[in-house]
Amino acid sequence: MKQIMNNTLSPLQLAVLMLCARCFSMMTYFPFTGSNALVFMIAIAISAALQGILLIPAAVLCSRRGKGLCEIAFCTSRALGLLVSGAFLLYFIWDIFITTGTFAYFMDSYFSNQIARLPAVICAGGAALYLGGMSSSVLGKCAGIFFCIFAFFAGILVLSAITYPDTANFHLAQRDIPNALANDIKGEFIRNRELVMLVFLLGDVKGSKPKSVFCYLALKLVILEVLLGFAALVLGEFALATDTPFFYLSCLSNSSVVERYDAGFMSVWTVLAVVRLAAVLHCCARCVRLLTGGRAKGAAVYAVQIIPAAATLYLLSKRRWKGLAYLNESPWLLVCAVGLIPLAVMLVKKRRGKVED
């Protein structure tokens, strides 16, 4: 089969691209499912370790073969390649649907008096569509710029908000800690849909694939722990009562120059939404090219994305998005896409090798 994917990303670029996607989710919806911040922070660390274990088959397989997972599957057999690419395509369509609708719903919830959501969604979608049509190298470079903007904004929030810290949420004095910890681990795990993009784009990394995975998990762990800790310190018990602690953190932050940072929050959040949506559109378009053998070009590549766009607009027009915005997805979707599919491709390849020997 003709090679479609090119190694155009450095390990750090891929890690930063995935961090932009994760930070958008974190800024959008980040509920404290437990009863205090310390248990949740421990759960985040355990969840990151479990994600690292789950990513081992994909990292090892792509590192050995020097190709992407779908390309490796096509080299094994065309049927397997079509099956794996089709599975990733379906997941990316679902991700486009959830990302677009979540962006529109929470933007309307945060800033309903200032901006109509339909023009904002169309503008953000158009920017994401343009950026998603670029190469993964361009995506990685843009993500690096936007992540620096996010890091700068997060630093301002931390420095301007931490005036009267509240450490009441940092304790382990609660009932049934194992059950609370398990719920927090599950809740944190299912909010990492970008792991599927990470597995799909590993073949583009021109350096060490395991290094890219480790870099992403380590940086994500540091960012989540630091920002979660500061949100709990500043907001106190209110952090446990809201599903959007970082939005309210920006509302409470102030300095001698800026009274509130919620407008800055919206700007950074919108940019990260565009990056995340562009990355998903990029992956979705490549799946279409893989399934058609590279014959689909231009607008035909993006035709399949009309389905999630139409479904999103329908739900938003009927104001039925709230149920999906707070939907708890099954963790098995991520487990299958991130761990079991790469493991199956690896085992099928080994089995075939034994038969040939």
Partners of 9 in the β-ladder: 205
**What's the confidence (pLDDT) of residue 188?**
87
Average pLDDT over residues 141-166: 82
Tell me the average pLDDT of the chain: 81
Please tell me the predicted confidence (pLDDT) of residue 73.
Answer: 92
Provide the pLDDT for residue 6. 47
The hierarchical CATH code for the domain 11-351 is 1.20.1740
Domain ranges in the chain? 11-351
Q: Which residues pair with 205 in a beta bridge?
A: 9
Q: How far apart are alpha carbons 337 and 200 in whole angstroms?
A: 10
Q: Give the residue, 254 or 100, on which the prediction is more confident.
A: 100
Which span out of 103-112, 159-168, 312-321 was modeled with the highest average pLDDT?
Answer: 103-112
Distance CA 229, CA 192 (A): 19
- Measured distance CA(267)–CA(120) in Å, rounded: 12
Tell whether the model's pLDDT for residue 26 goes beyond 70. yes
Using the predicted structure, report yes or no on whether residue 349 has a pLDDT greater than 60: no
Mean pLDDT of 166-170: 63
Per the CB < 8 A criterion, the answer to whether 276 and 21 are in contact is yes
**Which pLDDT band, with edges at 50, 70 and 90, does 351 fall under?**
very low
Task: State the Cα–Cα distance between residues 183 and 34, nearest whole angstrom.
Answer: 7
pLDDT for res 2: 41
Lowest mean pLDDT of 14-28, 31-45, 78-92, name the range.
Answer: 31-45
Q: What tens digit of pLDDT does each residue of 111-153 get?
A: 655 566 677 778 888 888 888 888 889 999 999 999 999 999 8
The pLDDT value recorded for residue 262 is 75
In this predicted structure, the answer to whether residue 254 has a pLDDT above a threshold of 50 is yes
State which of 1-5, 251-255, 328-332 shows the largest mean pLDDT.
328-332
Residue 99: predicted pLDDT: 87
165 has pLDDT over 70:
no
Q: In b/e form, how buried is each residue of 98-126, taking b as 16+ CB within 10 angstroms? A: bbbbbbbbbbbebbeeeeebeebbeebbe
pLDDT at 298 over 90: no
Q: Is the pLDDT of residue 163 over 70?
A: no
Which backbone phi and psi does 9 adopt, to 5 degrees?
-115, 140
Looking at residue 355, what is its pLDDT? 36
Burial class (CB in 10 A: 0-12, 13-18, 19+), 159: exposed
Residue 304 in tokens: 């399949």
- Supply the pTM of this predicted model: 0.88
Indicate if the pLDDT at residue 10 is higher than 60. Answer: yes
Task: Say if residue 354's pLDDT is above 90.
Answer: no
Residues above pLDDT 70, as percent of the chain: 75
DSSP string spanning 228-267?
Answer: HHHHHHHHTTHHHH-S-HHHHHHHH---SS-S--HHHHHH
pLDDT digit string, tens, across residues 203-231 = 999 888 999 999 999 999 999 998 888 88
Q: Above pLDDT 90, what percent of the chain?
A: 33
More confident residue, 47 or 265: 47
**What are the backbone angles phi and psi of residue 205, rounded to the nearest 5°?**
-75, 125
The three state secondary structure string of 142-200 is: HHHHHHHHHHHHHHHHHHHHCCCCCCCCCCCCCCCHHHHHHHHHHHHHCCCCHHHHHHH
The predicted-structure confidence for 301-315, as pLDDT tens digits, reads as follows 666 667 776 666 666
